[in-house]
Amino acid sequence: MTVALIGFAAVLILAFMRMPLGIALGVVGVIGFGELSGYRAAISNAARLVIDSGQSYGLSVLPMFILMGLLVEKGGMAKELYRAAYVFLGHKKGGLSMSTIVSCGMFSAICGSSLATAATMAKVSMPEMRRYKYHDSLATASIAAGGTLGILIPPSVVLVIYGLMTETSVGKLFIAGVLPGLVGVIFYLLAVKVTVTRNPDSGPAGDRSDWAERLSALKDVWATLGLFLFVIGGIYVGLFTPTEAAGMGAAGAMLIAWQRKTLTIASFMDVLRDTAATSAKLFMVLFGALIFSNFVNRAGLPDGLINIVNSFDASPMGVVFIILLIYLLLGCVFESLSMILLTVPIFAPVVEGLGFDLIWFGILVVVVTEISLITPPIGLNVFVLKGVLKDVAIKTIFKGVTPFWIADIFRLTLLALVPAISLFLPSMM
């Protein structure tokens, strides 16, 4: 176990020195495994992993779902989603922020990336909120927080990676993310409500829309929402495997973009190239993470941790809360993907050893990751927003995010204490 801890520390040092994360994980994994079982075996294992996971059927969901998200993002569908939410909620106090949250939730249903959700929705919703003189803190915070829903509401890149690392069903993980995602939307709406109740000037009401406008707005988004229902519904009722659903989803997004004439052949090729490059980037880290995971298991770290936990005679739920606390602390200094890749191989076996469901734990890990995206000092969604809205201070966004962060902590506690919220839908599959 000591060897594994030294390896863990070595990865952290190399990663902080800006060594590519995949290389850092891979180098430490091979050296660690080599020290324990010989270098020939270590290198052979690593090569085998690269060959097998580079041709993995299950992982083909990643490029296709990334493609679907990028097509929706470039296809200009975010504006229509925002309008659809606005016509129903805009007339309430804080209604534009609420519309932002709901449209982020809808956008997340097609796009598996939090950063893309935040960046895209910022361009659509911020001008509207500025027009109605929303305080920058509430406006930007609702985008940053709403954006985090991207990695929980399926499809989700993070859930695919978690599924691969823990060998749990990606389809079930996707379905398990639906209700916690909806709970997230509701809690964020409550956070907006609390903010505007305490300071009514921060989010004035917008214009009320009549039913003709509402119906027309819904007509504009039926294709996008239909695509979500088709893809996720198809997985739920067993019509498609996640890979097939991803392919159908990507093709559906292509058709929508083609019908709207939002993509030229050149921009379509750009989207394809971006998707392939992003996938390769993710796979580089995955190769490293899988090699590192082999080493950690060979060194007996998960077993060692389970023994320590047993020797303390702690309650299993207490252990889960300690793990979540560790995640919250790591989230303050670590970016999300690194955090998941480094910790899941260590914590997942412990949680499974304590008798918990790994699908439920996956949802908790993603929610904690969402929290890290808006936690100072390196909450990435906040920095993405800062990149898009250069005139807003980082401090202002972090200040506005506080009620959403508290809402997230409540949601995390609720999901930890009531596993049925995550497990009800997958249990019906």
Q: Binding residues for another protein, per CB under 8 A?
A: 15-23, 26-27, 30, 43-44, 46-48, 50-51, 54-57, 59-60, 63-64, 67, 113-115, 150-151, 157-158, 239-240, 243-244, 246-248, 250-251, 254, 269, 272-273, 275-285, 333-338, 369, 373, 378, 380
Closest approach, Cβ 332 to another protein, in A, equals 11
Closest approach, Cβ 379 to another protein, in A, equals 11
Helical (H) or strand (E) element with 70: helix 61-74
Q: Is 214 exposed, middle or buried (0-12, 13-18, 19+ CB in 10 A)?
A: middle
Closest approach, Cβ 22 to another protein, in A, equals 6
Q: For residue 5, give the DSSP letter.
A: H
**Which residue number, 350 or 368, has a Cβ lying nearer to another protein?**
368
Closest approach, Cβ 286 to another protein, in A, equals 10
Cα 269 to chain center, whole Å?
A: 26
**Which residue number, 363 or 380, has a Cβ lying nearer to another protein?**
380
**Which residue number, 251 or 414, has a Cβ lying nearer to another protein?**
251
**Which residue number, 221 or 256, has a Cβ lying nearer to another protein?**
256
Closest approach, Cβ 66 to another protein, in A, equals 8
CA distances, 120 to each of 166, 255, 256, 297, 402 (Å): 31, 20, 18, 40, 22
Closest approach, Cβ 107 to another protein, in A, equals 15
CA distances, 247 to each of 61, 74, 234 (Å): 8, 18, 12
Phi, psi at residue 137, to the nearest 5°?
A: -65, -45
> d(Cα 365, Cα 356) in Å, to the nearest integer?
13
**Which residue number, 56 or 402, has a Cβ lying nearer to another protein?**
56
**Which residue number, 280 or 322, has a Cβ lying nearer to another protein?**
280
Q: Is 352 exposed, middle or buried (0-12, 13-18, 19+ CB in 10 A)?
A: middle
Closest approach, Cβ 63 to another protein, in A, equals 6
Of 22, 27, 28, 21, nearest to 5 by C-alpha is 28
**Which residue number, 85 or 253, has a Cβ lying nearer to another protein?**
253
Evaluate whether 332 touches 67 at the Cβ level (below 8 Å): no
Evaluate whether 371 touches 380 at the Cβ level (below 8 Å): no
Closest approach, Cβ 247 to another protein, in A, equals 3
Evaluate whether 337 touches 158 at the Cβ level (below 8 Å): yes
> d(Cα 193, Cα 195) in Å, to the nearest integer?
5
- Provide DSSP, 132-157: TT--HHHHHHHHHHHHHGGGTSSS-H
Q: Is 93 helix (H, G, I), strand (E, B) or coil?
A: coil
**Which residue number, 96 or 160, has a Cβ lying nearer to another protein?**
160
